[in-house]
Amino acid sequence: MSRAQDTVTAVLPPLQVEDSQALKWDAQCEVLVLGWGAAGACAALQARAEGADVLVADRFTGGGASAKSGGVVYAGGGTRQQRAAGFSDSPEAMFDYLKHETQGVVSDDTLRRFCNDSVSNLQWLEGHGASYSHEVPPGGKTSYPQDGYFLYYSGNELVPLYGGANPPAPRGHRTVGKGQCGAVLYARLKDACLKAGVRPLLQAAAKRLVVDATGRVIGAEFSRLPPGSQQAELHARLTARAERLQNFAPGYCDSLRQRASQLERDFARPVLVHASKAVILSTGGFIFNRELIGQHAPKFRRNFKVGATGCDGSGLRLGLSVGASSDRLERVSAWRFINPPYSWHKGIVVNSDGRRFCNEEVYGATLGQPLMEEQGGRAWLVLDAPLRRKAISEALFKGYWWFQTVPALALMLLKVRKGKTLDQLAHSTGMDPAVLAESIRANNAAARGEAGDPFGKSRGGRRALAHGPFYACDISVSNPIFPLGALTLGGLRVDEQSGAVLDVAAQPIAGLYAAGRAAVGIPSHLYISGLSLADCVFSGRRAGKAAARETLNQAQLAAEASS
């Protein structure tokens, strides 16, 4: 097993029991939630609101990838914040836009329900302590807004070919707070869970599901560190440090995870939890599982991992162990943001031959997808001298985040190729001089209004690159100073009305549900900032409601069958 892979939770075949009453259970509940990130918290809160006794388990202390995120929730259809900022939006306009982005990953009925429920779901978050505001950053378009700004265009709404027939509206609602606000949002959800009476089982890694003689999921077995022990305290410190430093020293963080995993192997003890109604899987994706990435999405093995240690596919593997079906496991969102600096998207992005292949205005994941899947992860951002000077000035003086400014300056000042002429630039980068020259010629003609842009770039985003020297910034996946992040999008197939996990015959597996990135959902085709957290709310509440009503549903089915 590789250095990174030995931190992955081992999943065992299910424990099959003939008589659940004869088994010695360590804890009892009605609804058991595996994974206490945003999806798990929303599922637990909704199940509690339905009157269920809920226990939520987590391998660590809660938060997952949600707590490390920017805390952006994709919401629209006429939120209070949109109206306060002077924007008109409707569920129909939101649906029209997302229909293009999601490409049928869910049914139209489900997507419409997501859009129709968007306003109320944001209000639901506010009711649990999260706060949202309406300040829009200058220009409206950025990879992440600066402090003091909380509503922005977080997708492709401003790109002509993507926006649709309706006027564009900003739908990225950043949770009010300072810095990366995922921790703020998660803290509110965690507090709400505890106030509602949700019982946590922490530092407990789910090892296998428990099924009865009929195949119904009735609980799970965990491997838990002794609460309050020195080993548990050390485990918490190691894993917290690994999450905090992942962006700066991933290799060092892998070593921290190894130490934490060794503590689990040496000191954790088995714990059996019985769920009389249902189990909900909400453990995140699998970007930290290199074996699964190699099996399903090998092109993305070199990408920087976006997520948390718990994104090791444990929920996916638990579901598969009881006959679940999966989908979209090959779909990975690769993030190549070139805004900010704002001037960057006025340059052109070309492949290793010098051929332009995209509209540079698009959202980072929309750019990263073809870069990885069609161009082998290799590409250059080409600027001329005036545009480079302007971009450097923006990076220095526009007040961008450090994670936007530092890589941008490093890319333009350190990892850059230069040529007094385009021929010299092509020679220094290995591009084909004729191909690069033609890409620049077509771009300049579009910028001057002599022709349309072949990739649909807006008039405001076009600029002639005519004043040397010329620069090529390496935006390839292999560039260590400009990491190309990635996260997985696929998961377990679920019933779109309830969130029940489906088997290979597309039938619900009794007693098993999934939510968030562990399941196929709204963001499983292409990622847009905020769409994942919005789906955590949508799919989490859906699963929590259905799981809490599981006994009632079974009774209704039995009555219908006997009538």
Within-domain flag for 87: yes
Whether residue 163 is found in the same domain as residue 80: yes
Look at residues 439, 474, 509 and tell me which one is the last residue of a structural domain: 474
Within-domain flag for 182: no
Whether residue 80 is found in the same domain as residue 167: yes
Residue 22 is predicted with a pLDDT of 84
Burial class, 251, CB count within 10 angstroms (exposed 0-12 / middle 13-18 / buried 19+): exposed
Within-domain flag for 481: no
Whether residue 434 is found in the same domain as residue 526: no
Whether residue 356 is found in the same domain as residue 312: no
Q: Can you read off the two tokens belonging to residue 153?
A: 């265009």
Q: In this structure, are residues 485 and 307 in contact, taking their beta carbons and an 8 Å threshold?
A: no
Within-domain flag for 500: yes
Q: Can you read off the two tokens belonging to residue 516?
A: 């968030």
Angstrom distance (rounded) from CA 288 to CA 5: 8
Q: In this structure, are residues 370 and 358 in contact, taking their beta carbons and an 8 Å threshold?
A: yes
Whether residue 391 is found in the same domain as residue 267: no
Whether residue 203 is found in the same domain as residue 308: yes
Whether residue 122 is found in the same domain as residue 231: no
Residue 3 is predicted with a pLDDT of 52
Q: What is the DSSP letter of 384?
A: E
Q: Of 224, 199, 219, 223, whose CA–CA distance to 55 is shortest?
A: 199
Residue 350: phi and psi, rounded to 5, are -130, 160
One-letter amino acid at 450 equals E
Q: Which residues, at least 6 apart from 316, have a Cβ–Cβ distance to it below 8 Å?
A: 283, 286, 292, 326, 329, 491, 492, 518
Within-domain flag for 310: yes
Q: Give 269's strand partners.
A: 224
Within-domain flag for 165: yes
Report the run of H or E that residue 113 belongs to, with start and end. helix 108-116
Q: Can you read off the two tokens belonging to residue 99?
A: 């229909």
Whether residue 323 is found in the same domain as residue 392: no
Q: List the CATH number of the domain containing 248.
A: 3.50.50.60
pLDDT along the chain (563 residues), means of 10: 70 93 94 98 98 98 96 98 97 96 97 98 98 90 92 94 88 95 98 98 98 96 98 98 93 96 97 98 97 97 95 98 98 94 96 97 95 96 98 94 94 93 97 98 97 93 96 96 95 98 98 98 96 98 96 49 42
Sign of CA dihedral 472, 476, 480, 486: positive
Look at residues 474, 501, 526 and tell me which one is the last residue of a structural domain: 474
Whether residue 321 is found in the same domain as residue 351: no
Q: In this structure, are residues 474 and 481 in contact, taking their beta carbons and an 8 Å threshold?
A: no
Bond preceding residue 145 cis, omega within 30 of 0: no
Q: Of 515, 520, 513, 511, whose CA–CA distance to 539 is shortest?
A: 515
The total number of residues shown for the chain amounts to: 563
This prediction's pTM? 0.95
Whether residue 461 is found in the same domain as residue 515: no
One-letter amino acid at 53 equals D
Query: What is the crossing angle of helices 531-548 and 38-49, to 10°?
Result: 30
Query: What is the crossing angle of helices 531-548 and 108-116, to 10°?
Result: 100
Within-domain flag for 449: yes
Q: In this structure, are residues 71 and 175 in contact, taking their beta carbons and an 8 Å threshold?
A: yes
Identify the domain containing residue 523 by its residue range: 15-55+199-333+490-562
Bond preceding residue 167 cis, omega within 30 of 0: no
CA distances from 222 to 27, 34, 168, 496, 520 (A): 11, 10, 47, 28, 25
HSE, CB side, 13 Å, CA atoms: give it for residue 141.
21
Angstrom distance (rounded) from CA 370 to CA 365: 9
Look at residues 413, 443, 474 and tell me which one is the last residue of a structural domain: 474
Whether residue 327 is found in the same domain as residue 350: no
Sign of CA dihedral 396, 399, 400, 406: positive
Could you give the dihedral angle defined by the CA atoms of residues 260, 317, 17 and 272, in that order, rounded to the nearest 10 degrees? 30
Q: Can you read off the two tokens belonging to residue 316?
A: 């996916």
Burial class, 67, CB count within 10 angstroms (exposed 0-12 / middle 13-18 / buried 19+): buried
Q: Can you read off the two tokens belonging to residue 40?
A: 């798990």
Query: What is the crossing angle of helices 433-447 and 422-429, to 10°?
Result: 130
Q: Can you read off the two tokens belonging to residue 264?
A: 């689990």
Q: What is the DSSP letter of 63?
A: -
Whether residue 316 is found in the same domain as residue 369: no
Within-domain flag for 10: no
Q: Which residues, at least 6 apart from 347, have a Cβ–Cβ distance to it below 8 Å?
A: 360, 381, 382, 383, 384, 387, 463, 465
Q: List the CATH number of the domain containing 379.
A: 3.90.700.10
Count of domains for the chain:
3
Helices (H), 496-549: 531-548
